[in-house]
Amino acid sequence: MELRQLKTFRTVATLNSFNEAAKVLNYAQSTISEQIRALEEDLNVRLFERSGKKIVLTSAGEVLLVCAQKILDLEEEIKAAVTQQKEPHGSLSVRIPETVSIYYLPPILKLFHERFPKIQFNLMNCGYYRLEQELQSGMINLAFLILDQYQSKALEVEPLLSVPLVLVCHPANPLTGKQQVWVQDLKKETIFLPNEDCSYRMIFERILNTEKVEPAVVINCNSIEAIKAYIMAGTGITVIPEVAIKKEISRGELTVLNWAGDTLESNIFMIRHKEKWISPILKAFMETIRENIKPA
């Protein structure tokens, strides 16, 4: 039984998917399968029940997941204790929305890298629905969300910064001629939204659902840069953090609509699991974020 096998097992168990685990760990799926098979043979138990593409932990797998988490947490503590007199090294896995990654994180990461040049980062797209499980399992160390509010008894949720959201379209869209745009005006529109794991879209969906407004079409995209390209090509509207479209507005490529409803605003939250050990490097990274995050 090897630590890398336990890390792979923990990731598969957290995501309930060999394929998703392969993407996160940057392995071939065959490598994931082989490591799990070797672990099962070493322990002489079945860790997963497989039914088509779905997998679930067996009772033995559930026991191993708890033990694996303790072992991998201890590995981190040992590394920190033994190497404390040397230059810090290691890695941090962070889930982060595209907006934060592009418009807020770069100067902060530069500062942190200058202090700790040997720390590796695995930056992943934001993930809302499995966040608690991923943080609890240790698959990720820290997460950021853009949302109006977020509560969890198991998680420490720290607000960092407010983020204005805006409704934007192509300058030729007829809605630009309206002094005020109400939610009912969106019935015949094509609306582009970031994929479901980007949580600030929930704010806008809640507005539509409350007013019982069904747009003509809703198109989900994995990238805000792709969404901007579609809107600039003259298709549809979107709700997006204001910081993400400042250049396009200044160049006249996009227009901010005069939204008549409640203020569209969200917050950046920094999130970690309350019961997880905070390594010195994670503590230093969180402090760097707090000290340096500023309105973009």
Domain containing 166 — which CATH number? 3.40.190.10
**227 DSSP assignment:** H
259 falls in which pLDDT band (50, 70, 90)?
A: very high
For residue 241, is pLDDT > 90?
yes
Contacts of 269 (CB under 8 A, 6+ apart): 144, 145, 146, 147, 150, 157, 158, 159, 160
Domain boundary among 85, 119, 149: 85
What is the predicted pLDDT for the residue at 286? 96
Domain boundary among 24, 50, 85: 85
Q: What percent of the chain has pLDDT over 70?
A: 96
128 falls in which pLDDT band (50, 70, 90)?
A: confident
Number of domains composing the chain:
2
For residue 271, is pLDDT > 80?
yes
Worst-scoring range by mean pLDDT, 28-32, 80-84, 99-103? 80-84
* CATH assignment at residue 11: 1.10.10.10
Structure token pair of residue 122: 């695995």
Dihedral pair phi/psi, residue 266, rounded to 5°: -135, -175
For residue 74, is pLDDT > 60?
yes
Mean pLDDT (whole number) for 129-154: 87
For residue 87, is pLDDT > 70?
no
Q: How far is it, in rounded angstroms, from Cα 192 to Cα 217?
A: 8
265 forms bridges with which residues in the sheet?
A: 164
Structure token pair of residue 47: 């860790």
Residue 238 in domain: yes
What is the predicted pLDDT for the residue at 177? 92
For residue 53, is pLDDT > 80?
no
Rg (CA), the chain: 22
Q: How far is it, in rounded angstroms, from Cα 85 to Cα 7?
A: 26
Spell out a b/e string for 4-18, using b for 16 or more CB atoms within 10 Å of the CB, else e: ebbbbbbbbbbbebb
Give 157-199 pLDDT, tens digit per residue.
Answer: 999 999 999 999 999 999 999 999 999 999 989 999 988 656 7
What is the predicted pLDDT for the residue at 78? 78
What is the predicted pLDDT for the residue at 262? 85
**pTM attached to this predicted model:** 0.77
Residue 42 in domain: yes
Mean pLDDT (whole number) for 51-79: 82
Residue 75 in domain: yes
Decide: 256 and 131 in contact? Cβ < 8 Å: no
Range of the domain at 240: 162-265
136 falls in which pLDDT band (50, 70, 90)?
A: confident
Mapped onto helix, strand or coil, the DSSP state of residue 169 is strand
For residue 82, is pLDDT > 90?
no
Residue 74 in domain: yes
For residue 97, is pLDDT > 70?
yes
Mean pLDDT (whole number) for 231-240: 94
What is the predicted pLDDT for the residue at 86? 61
What is the predicted pLDDT for the residue at 273? 93
Q: What percent of the chain has pLDDT over 90?
A: 51
Mapped onto helix, strand or coil, the DSSP state of residue 246 is helix
Q: How far is it, in rounded angstroms, from Cα 146 to Cα 26?
A: 26
Mean pLDDT (whole number) for 218-239: 93
Domain boundary among 45, 64, 85: 85
How far is C-alpha 210 from the geometric centre of its chain's CA atoms?
26
For residue 85, is pLDDT > 60?
no
Structure token pair of residue 282: 């994670």
